[in-house]
Structure 1
Amino acid sequence: LAKQGISVALCEKGHIAGEQSGRNWGWVRQQGRDTRELPMMIESMRIWASLKEELGEDVGFTRGGCLFSANNQKQLAGLESWVSIAKEHGLDTRIVNSTELADLIGGTATDLAGGLYTASDGRAEPHKAAPAIARAASRHGASILTGCAVRGIDIEAARVAGVVTELGTIKTQTVICAAGAWTALFCGSIDITVPQLKVRGSVARTAPAPEVLKGNLFHEKFGIRRREDGGYTIAPGNLLEHPVTPSSFKYFFKFFRALMQDPSLVRITFGKEFIEEWRMPKVWDLDKPTLFEAKRVLDPAPNMRAIDRLKRDVVDVFPQLADVGIVETWAGMIESTPDVIPVIDEAEKMPGFYIATGFSGHGFGIGPGAGKAIAALVTGNESSVDLEPLRLQRFFDGSPIRPQSSI
């Protein structure tokens, strides 16, 4: 938008990459994507490939490949179904046997049956990418306002007239809400319902270690990515935690199909989050400090028991990493939709208010394409990808809500 000469202000209540943009695994993958978002991801991959030149900064992007492993022939057969999807979209995805898989992961002795592999997939460094993009936008004239919480929307005649921030009001007729895990709360305050629930993911970073793979591996028990600093980002592959809140009951039936598709993937937890959300105001005065100022960065604690198990699981597959220490752990809240694909749309009941949310744990890689798509939407230009499957009203107009089989 800034490159088109449009006046842009980005308001961030905390700091750039403080939440999901800086806490993710750093995967940039086409493999295993829902077919409704795959064209956008393919466009994103093209953008990632030229991002260093575009930004004038290195964000650590490299095509190290993406591998999903299978423990047995039944799992391998399940992975094979995605090969035909890949071929339809011109991707280089293929099935690898156990010998080829061992070569891809450093010759590690393993009883894995094989896997699904896309050599053109890649990885990048989350702590570098979003800040570099923000700096480039600033050079093109965008105002990057950190420590500037948006309290609400100034509405006139049922359409956007401005944004009310803690530093004052910005007059505008166009707002893009890309607030991640905060989106449902913010939109609810202006009577726009976004069915979205939060899950917590725990992640760890190792010290520099021998190279056992160049890219990303998703194993039944963990995900692992080679880092630019010579270490690995690792995370439990079979544990996302959903803290039960009032929203869990409100949207239960919308999320039921997704939950039943793989009940073992999400662990339901009960804690203080229920009372916190129950006490949370649904609307608030815009001339007073809000929750967004009180909680600048959503910083959940990682599940250390899961991290302890994670290290053992990784060493079972990669004994070369037995003596490598974990130097950092963290967690992040992920916003998910009932069909596990994003919403990119203009709110029907409020012209000028656009929403980009619900990337459901795989927004880092697709981010550049999503940004290009929302920019086309707000300027009235034709998008290079079909946004019809990503409209908000799909959750309310009787459309079948079917999460595609996730790998």
Structure 2
Amino acid sequence: MERHDVLVIGGGLLGCALAHHLTRAGATVALVEKDQLNRHASGQNAGSLHFQLEYRMIQHGPEVAARAAEALPLHLDAMRAWASLEDEIGEPCGVRRRGGLMLAETPEQLELLARKTALERAHGLDVRVLDTDETHALAPYLSDHVLGAAWCPGEGKANPRLVTHAYARAAARNGAHIAAGTGLRALRHDGREWIATVTRDGRERPMRARAVVIAAGIWTAQVAAMADVRLPVIPVALSMTVTAATAPLVPHLVQHVGRRLSLKQTEEGNVLVGGGWPAKFVHHGGDLDLDERPELRLDSVFGSADAARVVPAVQQLPVLRIWSGATSLTPDQLPLLGAVPRRPDLYVATGGSAFTLGPTYSRLLAQQVLTGRTELPIGDYSPARFGFLNFV
């Protein structure tokens, strides 16, 4: 029977990055992905590297924002990780860090921006509030309605079509066995190690591993259920828009403190507009179908177009495509990262800002899997914090 030190379930950025860090440390690793690598959230997002607290983290008041800010040490680590990522794995990943702006258009939003920035600076993030003149001097492409912005020079973007595959190739060079098109059918522990039943081309085979890491995105709860574990992973369907290419216009990552917005321009000249605009999951007989691509919502299409008015020139560009994807969140919007209680050597990684923080999540979790210790504390993100889930 095929045996490895670690079985990674999920072939997105987190799974492939985990395989890289684990094999780099000398572990034998198998990674299984039921579809193509990078097929889902990791390849369908807009590639933002947003280290400031996002709109969704601050819209529900100061207590929620303060809780979200507790994850800022991970943001700082991820900022450093992205800066050296291409050198580490030896391939271009489209990493461009030209700074990010979080905009305000009203006096009330400026006050919120100031409170957010003070909270971030207290945790060590390099960010400051620009007044109206400073904002428009730095970003003359912005609308006159913008009154100010929080400026974070370490923010930017990466190419989601490149990063995951680069991690996968780096892991394969270190000996990882990466099996795309391979589904998981069963997962159990025999008292000594994990036994997984996987299937490919209609043929089943067993695999053994000392440890298992679930990095399956919106399918995380389904996979965990195979091990008789209930995890509070909430699938969220989102939509994004891309325009036709134009001359260089927006060198920065642009967000908004008062509403959903994420806007950036690719190296090819296309402008990507997102920021959490919802799509709609497909239901069959009342059951959520996570395998079906979410449907677009007209209100999100118009809302996204309206949010982009902060860069007037963008609203003049033809739209090439609007697409949907899905990501996973937890009830408290913090990552789900670490060992699963009462399941020996079972680990999980999902939630939070999984693309932005992926290099950090994966490195820290690889350390925990192999040594039981991590460079940064991750206990606050453990599944154990959801004690009501009855890990039996």
Band the TM-score falls in, shorter-chain normalisation: 0.7 to 0.9
- The letter of the residue matching 1:123 is K
Q: Deviations over 1:256-306 (max 9, x none)?
A: xxxxxxxxxxxxxxx6257124xx8xxxxxxxxxx9xxx4xx522333552
Identity over the aligned pairs, expressed in percent?
Answer: 27
Superposition deviation, residue 241 in structure 1? 5.0
Task: For residue 239 of structure 1, give the secondary structure of its aligned residue in structure 2.
Answer: strand
- The letter of the residue matching 1:13 is K
Superposition deviation, residue 28 in structure 1? 1.1
Contact (CA 8 Å) 1:68, 1:117: kept in 2 or not? yes
Number of residues paired by the alignment? Answer: 349
Of 373, 384, 387, 1:393 maps to 384
TM-score (norm 2): 0.83
User: CA 1:93/1:273 → structure 2, altered by over 3 Å: closer, same or farther?
Assistant: farther
Of 66, 73, 86, 1:52 maps to 86
- The letter of the residue matching 2:367 is A
- The letter of the residue matching 1:183 is T
Q: Deviations over 1:200-223 (max 9, x none)?
A: 110011121233321211133532
User: CA 1:275/1:332 → structure 2, altered by over 3 Å: closer, same or farther?
Assistant: same
Task: For residue 230 of structure 1, give the secondary structure of its aligned residue in structure 2.
Answer: coil
Task: For residue 339 of structure 1, give the secondary structure of its aligned residue in structure 2.
Answer: coil
CA distance in 2, matches of 1:348, 1:310: 40
Of 243, 248, 251, 1:206 maps to 243
Aligned residue number for residue 318 of structure 2? 325
Unmatched runs of 5 consecutive residues or more in structure 1: 244-270, 281-290, 399-407
Aligned residue number for residue 329 of structure 2? 336
Superposition deviation, residue 104 in structure 1? 3.3
Aligned residue number for residue 277 of structure 2? 239
User: CA 1:387/1:322 → structure 2, altered by over 3 Å: closer, same or farther?
Assistant: closer
User: CA 1:329/1:107 → structure 2, altered by over 3 Å: closer, same or farther?
Assistant: closer
Unmatched runs of 5 consecutive residues or more in structure 2: 1-21, 55-67
TM-score (norm 1): 0.80
Of 171, 175, 196, 1:163 maps to 196
Q: Deviations over 1:124-146 (max 9, x none)?
A: 01111111111111111111110
Deviates more, 1:220-229 or 1:100-109: 100-109
Task: For residue 102 of structure 1, give the secondary structure of its aligned residue in structure 2.
Answer: helix
- The letter of the residue matching 1:372 is R
Superposition deviation, residue 5 in structure 1? 1.6
Contact (CA 8 Å) 2:277, 2:304: kept in 1 or not? no
Runs (4 or more) in structure 1 with deviation over 6 Å come to none
User: CA 1:389/1:170 → structure 2, altered by over 3 Å: closer, same or farther?
Assistant: same
User: CA 1:79/1:375 → structure 2, altered by over 3 Å: closer, same or farther?
Assistant: same
Task: For residue 195 of structure 2, give the secondary structure of its aligned residue in structure 1.
Answer: strand
CA distance in 1, matches of 2:255, 2:273: 10
Q: Deviations over 1:45-83 (max 9, x none)?
A: 211111111222111111121211112111111111232
Q: Deviations over 1:246-265 (max 9, x none)?
A: xxxxxxxxxxxxxxxxxxxx
Deviates more, 1:301-310 or 1:5-14: 301-310
Alignment of structure 1 residues 105-116 onto 2, 5 Å: 105-116=139-150
CA distance in 2, matches of 1:99, 1:93: 17
CA distance in 2, matches of 1:396, 1:340: 16
2:267 matches 1:228:
yes
CA distance in 2, matches of 1:326, 1:182: 31
CA distance in 2, matches of 1:232, 1:56: 27
Superposition deviation, residue 31 in structure 1? 1.0
CA distance in 2, matches of 1:87, 1:120: 13
Contact (CA 8 Å) 2:141, 2:313: kept in 1 or not? no
Contact (CA 8 Å) 1:300, 1:332: kept in 2 or not? yes
Superposition deviation, residue 161 in structure 1? 2.2
User: CA 1:306/1:377 → structure 2, altered by over 3 Å: closer, same or farther?
Assistant: same
- The letter of the residue matching 2:253 is N
Q: Deviations over 1:85-143 (max 9, x none)?
A: 33334332000112222233334342122121101112101111111111111111111
Aligned residue number for residue 300 of structure 2? 306
Task: For residue 120 of structure 2, give the secondary structure of its aligned residue in structure 1.
Answer: helix
Superposition deviation, residue 309 in structure 1? 4.3
Superposition deviation, residue 307 in structure 1? 2.1
Superposition deviation, residue 397 in structure 1? 6.0
2:43 matches 1:22:
yes
Higher strand share: 2
Task: For residue 174 of structure 1, give the secondary structure of its aligned residue in structure 2.
Answer: strand
Superposition deviation, residue 229 in structure 1? 1.6
